[in-house]
Amino acid sequence: GAVVSQHPSRVICKSGTSVKIECRSLDFQATTMFWYRQFPKQSLMLMATSNEGSKATYEQGVEKDKFLINHASLTLSTLTVTSAHPEDSSFYICSAETGTGRSYEQYFGPGTRLTVT
Amino acid sequence: AQSVTQLDSHVSVSEGTPVLLRCNYSSSYSPSLFWYVQHPNKGLQLLLKYTSAATLVKGINGFEAEFKKSETSFHLTKPSAHMSDAAEYFCVFNAGGTSYGKLTFGQGTILTVHP
């Protein structure tokens, strides 16, 4: 099946610094990628939809200036958490969509655990 | 509102006994429904999906789910649990229409399998 990778898998940063997380589709092209966050013992919440070559679409309540998304190619989307604070500590998961019509499917990356100290 | 609800946060079964994980949805459109599994420290894996074809959907690892429009349900079942099935399961919903491509996750059900 299709594989999606994320890098890094874990990152610890100091409060006030920025962190970049990469999401790559390894064996397919994805015009659309999605970013989710998952708090401990909670479900995944969609943060934003990333479309190649255009601006990301953010869900209500997600600060676009804090969570910068760049989808520069059909295989790479990046999420940059700017001026990170402890409350941004979470598990960030990306997915890449492939297919057409009702046969689309999202493949998920393994996630990135961010800890802000 | 369009949503998906998993009725049990935890389910515990003995190895070899049936598994039932319950999911109900609410949608104005004809939805697509999925079940994903998340093992500790691993990525989400698709078990099965319903996209308006056959209402009984068979997935990997012996799991299956039945789409019941009259009950707005999409429960996940397996005849005989295995220790390796212990994980967290998410019922996932795409409302279609203007929400095409955007997935909404249920709250998750943690499945524990006892020897």
Give the model confidence (pLDDT) of B13-72 as tens digits: 999 999 999 999 988 777 889 999 998 877 889 999 998 778 899 999 999 999 999 999
pLDDT score of A100 more than 90: no
Q: Chain-wide mean pLDDT for chain A?
A: 91
Pairing state between β A10-13 and B23-26: unpaired
pLDDT at A14: 96
pLDDT at B23: 97
pLDDT at A72: 83
Query: How far, in Å, CA of B5 to CA of B103, rounded?
Result: 13
Take residue A3 and report the two structure tokens written for it: 């594989």
Q: Is A91 on the interface with B (CB under 8 A)?
A: no
Query: How far, in Å, CA of B50 to CA of B82, rounded?
Result: 24
pLDDT at A43: 87
The radius of gyration of chain B's CA atoms, rounded to the nearest angstrom, is: 14
Of residues A70, A87, A86, the one with CA closest to residue A22: A70
* Nearest CB neighbour to A104, from listed B36, B43, B101: B101
For chain A, give the percent of residues with pLDDT over 70: 96
pLDDT at A58: 95
pLDDT score of B99 more than 80: no
Contact list in B for residue A46 (CB cut-off 8 A) is 102-104
Give A101's pLDDT tier (boundaries 50, 70, 90): low
Residue B28 main-chain phi, psi, to 5 deg: -85, -20
Report yes or no: A83 and A13 within 8 Å, Cβ to Cβ: no
* Nearest CB neighbour to B103, from listed A106, A109, A110: A106
Q: Is B28 on the interface with A (CB under 8 A)?
A: no
Residue B98 main-chain phi, psi, to 5 deg: -75, -10
pLDDT score of A34 more than 60: yes
Q: Is A62 on the interface with B (CB under 8 A)?
A: no
* Nearest CB neighbour to B52, from listed A45, A93, A102: A102
Average pLDDT over residues B91-104: 75
CA distance A71 to chain B (A): 17
Average pLDDT over residues A104-113: 89
**For residue A115, is it left (φ>0), alpha (ψ between -120 and 50) or beta?**
beta
Query: Which of A36, A59, A106, A112 has the most B C-beta neighbours within 10 Å, making it the best mutation to test the interface with B?
Result: A106
Tokens 């990525």 sit on residue: B43
pLDDT digits (tens, 9 = 90+) for A46-97: 999 998 888 899 999 999 999 999 988 899 999 999 999 999 999 999 999 8
